Structure 1
């Protein structure tokens, strides 16, 4: 049984006057925040506000990098040239690093978003482009990847520390892949059901797939999507059931390099 696990959420996705999610409420619950970098969502002002709130709640922050797809919220597949994808990821990490530095935080990890996340889980060419970008910016940055995916081994071979991630509010296929959002039942909304699945994950090492088969998932972090209408309730339910069963919620990466030096 897992005794310590990270709880993360995708935040900073509001854009100008358009609000996505409830970052302040979610930040009171999670231990790590994947902050949008402007390519799929997030405006500079909104990202800065989320970073300030993350600091207030002592939440670790990571760059939630994406394909350049504001219209599709980063959920459309793109066949981007390797050098272009590498540059895009470097650009996004750098943008978040600048905003984070302004509020006294450090970006400590990178989690790709949406279609990019799912593509590089199995596409070696694009995966290497993202890995190259992270190494170019800072080899100490941690990569968050889909649990059980070939990306984990590939990134480790290139020298990156990798955290395997499970999704609280997403359905899985028996092979460990996520059910497409285009299919019914892909996104889970019942807080009690979601919480029980995550308890099963930490106690038994897996969850029941959409095909009804127990699927092993080895994960160090659990994600609850911040853009879900039920995000706050789902995250709170997961956190409560885990804590009540002796599991501590802690970030896998330091809150900031500055804080680490002070310790």
Structure 2
């Protein structure tokens, strides 16, 4: 069934001091999206960047979420780090708390949490870690939206205990037959029209083509386009314009609590 509206999210504030990742177009992308995943200091981001990004999101009327990663500035959070589930959850809480205070300073609430990079993929596969993360979120904020893939352990466990999830569709990543994205540390420049058509097909037909050439069904509530993908601004512009032309509204996420 064709979607009437969809959330559009992107990772924001992924720099450190004078260093910036990607094309440095966060402030141009921000008004075009409905949810911003703000780096919280471990894979990227620092207090000044976080404060500025929250302010820009507030001015644009964009929902904000914490985007915690592995403690890996050098590797941009895309290297797996061996740690206990409790240590990783503690790292997430530390980062989430930092962004929550900047949100409070600007009079807005934290909408969601979305692990970054290798930590996101680790959660998708590791049931013990995902369960501890979800149970911890239940304690601190049972209404906090958790962004994840529908095919992930994270999604399944969150639904079991009633933590609201937002299932993501990745416009600028490839999929395998399991419905998982193919994790990569480096993404080349993509054709904006092809990306927009890929997203439109997912929104209208609920399907995506895998790297093996198969079509699979895909369930999602939000479309992600990474701000560090080369040409990210044009990808967001083309995708948004294509969806709007087809009558699909860009709006904040509707949480999914049961399989559909």
Q: Under a length normalisation based on structure 2, what TM-score does the superposition of the two structures give?
A: 0.92
Matches within 5 A, 1:103-142: 103-142=106-145
**Contact 1:90 / 1:137 at 8 angstroms: preserved in 2?**
no
Q: Which runs of 4+ in 1 moved over 4 A?
A: none
1:5-43, Cα deviation, whole Å (9 max, x unpaired)? 000000011111112331100101100000111011001
Task: Report the equivalent of 1:83.
Answer: 86
Classify the secondary structure of the residue corresponding to 1:222: strand
Classify the secondary structure of the residue corresponding to 1:210: coil
Structure 1: runs of 5+ lacking an equivalent: 255-263
Q: Distance in 2 between matches of 1:250 and 1:16?
A: 32
Task: Report the equivalent of 1:14.
Answer: 15
Q: Give the deviation of 1:228 after TM superposition.
A: 1.7
**Contact 2:66 / 2:110 at 8 angstroms: preserved in 1?**
yes
| Root mean square deviation of aligned Cα | 1.6
1:95-149, Cα deviation, whole Å (9 max, x unpaired)? 0001111112211111111011111112101112322332232111010101222
Classify the secondary structure of the residue corresponding to 2:167: strand
Q: Give the deviation of 1:187 after TM superposition.
A: 5.6
Residue 160 (structure 1) aligned to one of 160, 163, 167? 163
Compared CA separation, residues 182 and 94, structure 1 to 2 (3 A): closer
Task: Report the equivalent of 1:192.
Answer: 193
Task: Report the equivalent of 2:250.
Answer: 249
2:31 is the alignment partner of 1:28: yes
Task: Using the TM superposition, name which of 3-12 and 13-22 deviates more.
Answer: 13-22
**Contact 1:194 / 1:238 at 8 angstroms: preserved in 2?**
yes
Classify the secondary structure of the residue corresponding to 2:9: strand
Classify the secondary structure of the residue corresponding to 1:112: coil
Q: Give the deviation of 1:54 after TM superposition.
A: 0.4
Classify the secondary structure of the residue corresponding to 2:228: coil
Matches within 5 A, 1:156-235: 156-181=159-184, 189-235=190-236
Task: Using the TM superposition, name which of 12-21 and 240-249 deviates more.
Answer: 12-21
**Contact 2:112 / 2:146 at 8 angstroms: preserved in 1?**
yes
